[in-house]
Structure 1
Amino acid sequence: MPHRRARTERVTLQDVADALGVSAITVSRALREPEKVSEDLRQRILNKIDEMGYVPDLAARALASRHSGVIGVLAPALTSHAHLGIMRGIEERVRTSDLRIQYASSRHDPEEEIRQIRLFLSQHPAGILLSGLQERDGTLDLLRTAPCPVVQIVDLHLTPVGMAIGTNHCHAAASAVRHLIACGYRRIGLLGGTRDVRSERRQEGYCLAMQEAGLTDSALVVSEDAPTSVQLGCQLLQRLRRQAPDVDCVFCQNDDLALGVLFEAQRLGLAVPELGICGYNDLGFAAYSQPPLTTVRVPRFEMGYRAIDLLIRVVNGETPPSMPVDLGYEVIQRGTTRPPAGTGAP
């Protein structure tokens, strides 16, 4: 009968290597730098790890490599639809490494943000990923002295601490509003919720495009410093129509609000796209609402994937990029707005 390892004995990296007839370095490389081993060998190693029940010893790693093997990820809200796309990208990339993720939420509170970063740093992380940072002095001071690599998912007008990846929300919003103007709309309202860097930059872009076209009117701007939701979108459209009864289009801070506007317009018997509606983020439901939602597509999955990829590469000794990574955006024309003039669309 083959020897069975006692339950108190821990399977080591060397045990996995011996079982496969390869070196421990090869097993480690398959986990840390999968692109450096063949796909066939990497899969054999992963299968053997599952079979033998190998679990990395994070405490031993922390002593040997000066980090715990955990990446701390801090976001304003973990349950927002937009952040879920980023999380999917994070999870997809990290699953092929031997690093692990610890999530935390700042709940849009600058003091909680600082507290969570301090907690991460006390645990000797391999790295820290920050999404939607509030950019306060205390937070930035912590990051400048962090003993580990830091990646920020940011609006690219900011000067980040460490590596950065993201898009320019002001440019994206301005492009969306110019698109709405090209569709023939003139009384374009703006609906917004929680005040953070991204929402402020989207409002800047809206104001820029409206000013360029000579269409600025403060009565067209309605916002409430509250978490965005479908319900809030319904309520803000009601307020907007009281302030500006002749509004003919609505640009929303995100798709949650836009879906609420669509529901409220249908409840009120308002014809869409005669009342135009544009969202932001291109969440999963946007293409399947009725009519489908015109929106701004931001590559959230790619943001998460590439942000963690940057961290993993730097943890493994590669040189960090010197410039922020701009992932861009795309205005997606669908059924909640008229097609632009001259496109030939029916």
Structure 2
Amino acid sequence: MGVKRGRSERTTLVDVASRAGVSAITVSRVLREPEKVSSSLRQRILELIDDMGYVPDQAARALASRHNSTFGVLVPSLTNRAFISFMQGIEERVRDTHFRIQYANTHNSRDEEQRQVKLLMSQNTAGIILAGLEGVEAVNELVRRASCPVVQVVDVGLQTPGVGIAVDHSDAAAAAVRHMIACGYKRIGLVGGSLDERGRRRTDGYSRSMVQAGLYDPNLIHHENATPTTQMGCRLLRRLMRICPDVDAVFCENDDLALGVLFECQRLDKKVPDEFGICGYNDLDFASVTEPPLTTVRIPLFEMGFRAADALVRGVDGRPSEPNTINLGYELIERRTLRRPIGQQ
């Protein structure tokens, strides 16, 4: 059984090494580069660390290193479910390393984003993942001066310093709306929230496809500048139908909004997809189990997080980075909230 020590008797790395009969370097390697230690020795040392109550002194480690072993991750909203999958990807890549993750919420604020970037840079942070208001020149100037690797989660149309993990949000939205038009819908509305760069580009894609089809009407576009929620989807559909009662489909810039639209259609007894079509965006985990299952645009959120974290790990280790911008693409997932395209019915 381990013995608890007082503050003045804090267990040290040397104590663990002595009990294990190995060098302090070996114990350090177990914590920092576990893959370089045999599994049997690694397990024995980890058990001793747990039994003896050893906690690494991160402040001392930061002083001895060029960084504090922390990856700072800035997201515009910690309540947006799309970012949960993104963060899970980050944590999966970092799990077996010595790095730890520090999240911060920028609340879709440019000033807060800049403040958080400056704060992380002042803390000797090992690397930064920035998934906020992409393309802000003030932030990009900070990134150019950063002494640590920085990865931005961006749109392919934006030029950023450092590595960018990208999706073409405008093209993805345009493809979804073209598909809705091919399914026979004519008065296609748009509902969206969070007027950040991603939202603006999705709106641009929607508008481009509607203009090309001769169907564009600005009265069909409705936003609330807040984090998208199911309740917002309900509200925006009610507003849209008051202004454009002949609307026959909606492209939603987020699956949470699409879920609210679907619920509101059920309350209004509108038959989906025969009377009314719905397309979401992101392909969140609930999209396949709604009734009917939600047609949506799949964005590789988990992979975006994983690749962003991998780029940081590679950058800290001095390994070659990937191309400046990595386009991960998208996929239209056809389920049953839209009719079949004309000619396939």
Deviation at 1:201, TM superposition (A): 0.6
Cα deviation, residue 132, structure 1: 2.2
SS of the counterpart of 1:280?
Answer: strand
Instruction: State the partner residue of 2:264.
Output: 264
User: Residue deviations 1:3-50, cap 9 Å, x none?
Assistant: 958444444455555655666555555544556566666656555544
User: What are the Cα deviations for residues 46-74 of structure 1, in whole angstroms up to 9, with x where unaligned?
Assistant: 55544443433221221121211111111
Normalising to structure 1: TM-score of the pair?
0.90
Can you list the C-alpha shifts for 1:207-247, whole angstroms capped at 9, x where unaligned?
12222222222222122223321111111112212222221
Question: Secondary structure of the equivalent of 2:189?
Answer: strand
Deviations 1:169-200 (A, max 9, x none): 11111111122122222221111112000000
For 1:306 and 1:15, how far apart are their aligned partners in 2?
38
Q: Distance in 2 between matches of 1:262 and 1:39?
A: 51
Q: Which residue of 1 aligns with 2:316?
A: 315
Instruction: Tell me, yes or no, if the aligned pair for 1:74 and 1:130 is still in contact at 8 Å.
Output: yes
1:135 to partner: Cα distance: 2.9
What residue number does 1:294 align with? 295
Is it true that 1:214 corresponds to 2:214 in the alignment?
A: yes
Deviation at 1:337? Answer: 0.9
Which letter maps to 1:249? A
Equivalent residue, structure 2, for 1:178: 178
Q: Which deviates the most, 290-299 or 23-32?
A: 23-32
TM score, norm. by length of structure 2: 0.90
Contact kept in structure 2, 1:219 and 1:243, CA below 8 Å? yes
1:306 counterpart = 2:318: no
**Percentage identity across paired residues of the two chains:** 57
Map 1:204-243 to 2 at 5 A: 204-243=204-243
Between stretches 32-41 and 243-252, larger displacement belongs to: 32-41
Structure 2 SS opposite 1:296: strand
Question: Which shows bigger deviation, 44-53 or 201-210?
Answer: 44-53
Q: Kindly state the Cα deviation for residue 133 of structure 1 after the two structures are TM-superposed.
A: 2.8
Tell me which amino acid in the other structure corresponds to 2:98.
D
**Separation in 2 of the partners of 1:37 and 1:74?**
33
**How many Å separate the matches in 1 of 2:323 and 2:25?**
30
User: What is residue 75 of structure 1 aligned with on the other side?
Assistant: 75
What is the total number of aligned residue pairs between the two structures? 343
Aligned counterparts, 1:85-124, within 5 A:
85-124=85-124
Residue matched to 1:339: 340
Structure 1's consecutive aligned runs of 4 or more residues displaced over 3 angstroms after TM superposition are 2-54, 341-344
Alpha-carbon deviation of 1:323? 2.5
**Alignment check: 8 A CA contact 2:191 2:257 kept:** yes
CA contact (8 A) 1:132 1:198 kept: no
d(CA) in 2 for partners of 1:290, 1:3: 54
Which stretch has the larger CA shift, 42-51 or 200-209? 42-51
Letter matched to residue 300 of structure 1 = L
For residues 192-203 of structure 1, the aligned pairs below 5 Å read: 192-203=192-203
| RMSD of aligned alpha carbons | 2.4
Q: Which moved more, 1:283-292 or 1:334-343?
A: 334-343
Q: Which residue of 2 aligns with 1:132?
A: 132
